[in-house]
Amino acid sequence: MNIAVPLIAALLATTAQAVPASAQGCGPLRVPGAAHQETTHLADLSTAGGRTDPADWAGLTPAGLPAPTPVSGTQVDGYFPDSSTGNTNNGWAHDSQFVIRLPERWNGGLVVAGSPGVREQYANDRAISDFVLAKGYAFASTDKGNTGVAFHRDGARPGDAIAEWNHRVTQLTRAAKVVVAQRYCRPPSRTLATGISNGGYLVRWQLENRPELYDGGVDWEGTLWTADGPNLLTFLPPALKGYATGDRAAVVAAGFPAESEFLWPFHHQYYWDLTQRIYREELDPAWDGDREAGTPFCAPGTPLCDADYDYASRPQAQRAVGKIALTGRIGKPLLTLHGTLDVLLPISRDSDVYADMVRRAGRDGLFRYYRIEGGTHVDSLFDVFPDRLRPLTPCHRSVFGALEGWLSGTRPPASTTVPRPAVVNATECALA
């Protein structure tokens, strides 16, 4: 989810000289369906010197992550037609913004991502874009079509805003494939989907519903939506209530591991309350009448307090979640990684459940699942608790490599719990 970020962030000025892209490839770069685009050639497409927004990716990676490798190439920024205006990147005040990066030295592949939480299109830049560009991939990312903590204002009916996320990833994937072919005179030989949190949910949904567009994907702690539960609206209210009343056992019963208690105060302050209120507003706005997204940090027992929300008694919410629900019926190889100390999307209520859904759907031959001991939802917390946590960024890179190997004929390591090593750093994560 990763939603504790500023709503408005300034665009980082490029340290490389941006000039109009040269007439390389098979003609001008035109993004199919885009309402606006800007194309620049950059000496460095990475977060060290490229066109990005560091506020958008703040907190998602550990401080010790090595500096990115400079990669020269062409970047296309723009947006698709849309009526919502929450994204202020590039001074556009227009949602459905995207970024496409095309390295000079291309390996033939394309990686597509949707943003985590309610962040914008640059949110994956440090964790994912830097990494895959250095490997030679083209990269494309979308803001999902609505942004910010008021994302629920988008759409005509409950669930529409989240449903748009899936459409926007499909739209960008199709468009980016065309742009890649324009730039390199041939289509990508391999298209991979990956993403964090809500971005991981998008990977799952795409491989279930649009598998023909991809060769495989890596799901990093994807959000689980099931109409019958579990989902955010089933485990966050009892956690909020238990925390507010000092009932530690109730928080544990909601799915949050007892050994993660040292992380509960931070997550209660920055994630649990806000996440519950804005997603409940998106999926069940009628629950509290004319109020918008409830009452922050209300005491249990207060009228219409989200800590008392009962998803099981709300069929209208269940219908809305049904529009965005996952099934486990993936159609292409998927590798999932999830930290055992995730205190926003607890692993027992999320990826453990999704792994079982894949198995019950008969698709476990396309699936690998790596439970990362000591991993939590955002890697910046590793910098605060290096003696108790481990970062997931290096594990994502290992899992991504396992997917590459799988698609080239090397079976990936079996699904497993990856133990936390005695010495943890921001660069290594062995899966087996």
Residue 20 binned pLDDT confidence (cut-offs 50, 70, 90): very low
Q: Three-state SS for 282?
A: helix
Task: Evaluate if residue 44 carries a pLDDT over 70.
Answer: yes
Task: Evaluate if residue 3 carries a pLDDT over 90.
Answer: no
Q: What was the pLDDT predicted at 280?
A: 98
**Cβ-count burial of 194 within 10 angstroms (0-12 exposed, 13-18 middle, 19+ buried)?**
buried
Residue 402 binned pLDDT confidence (cut-offs 50, 70, 90): very high
Residue 25 binned pLDDT confidence (cut-offs 50, 70, 90): confident
**Rounded CA gap, 417 and 188, in Å?**
33
Task: Evaluate if residue 4 carries a pLDDT over 60.
Answer: no
At 237, list the tokens: 């209210």
Q: Read off the DSSP letter of residue 127.
A: I
Q: Write out pLDDT tens, residues 46-96.
A: 999 989 999 999 999 999 999 999 999 999 999 999 999 999 999 999 999
Query: Are the C-beta atoms of residues 330 and 367 closer than 8 Å to each other?
Result: yes
Residue 102 binned pLDDT confidence (cut-offs 50, 70, 90): very high
Task: Evaluate if residue 184 carries a pLDDT over 70.
Answer: yes
Task: Evaluate if residue 288 carries a pLDDT over 70.
Answer: yes
Which residue(s) pair with 42 in the sheet?
A: 73
Q: What was the pLDDT predicted at 24?
A: 60
Task: Evaluate if residue 412 carries a pLDDT over 60.
Answer: yes
Whether the predicted model's global pTM rises above the 0.85 cut: yes
**Rounded CA gap, 77 and 34, in Å?**
10
Task: Evaluate if residue 219 carries a pLDDT over 90.
Answer: yes
Residue 6 binned pLDDT confidence (cut-offs 50, 70, 90): very low
Q: What was the pLDDT predicted at 9?
A: 31
Considering only the C-alpha atoms of the chain, give the largest distance between any 2 of them, rounded to a whole number of Å. 65
Q: Write out pLDDT tens, residues 327-373.
A: 999 999 999 999 999 999 999 999 999 999 999 999 999 999 999 99
Burial 124-137 (b: 16+ CB within 10 A, else e): bbbbbbbbbbbbeb
Q: Three-state SS for 303?
A: coil
Parallel, antiparallel, or unpaired for β 334-339 and 36-42? unpaired
Residue 27 binned pLDDT confidence (cut-offs 50, 70, 90): confident
The CB density around residue 245, as the number of other CB atoms within 10 Å, is 14
Average pLDDT over residues 415-426: 96
Query: Are the C-beta atoms of residues 54 and 19 closer than 8 Å to each other?
Result: no
Task: Evaluate if residue 279 carries a pLDDT over 50.
Answer: yes
Q: What was the pLDDT predicted at 432?
A: 84
Instruction: Report the Cα 426 to chain-centroid distance in Å.
Output: 20
Average pLDDT over residues 115-131: 98
Average pLDDT over residues 298-315: 98
Q: What's the mean per-residue pLDDT of the chain? A: 94
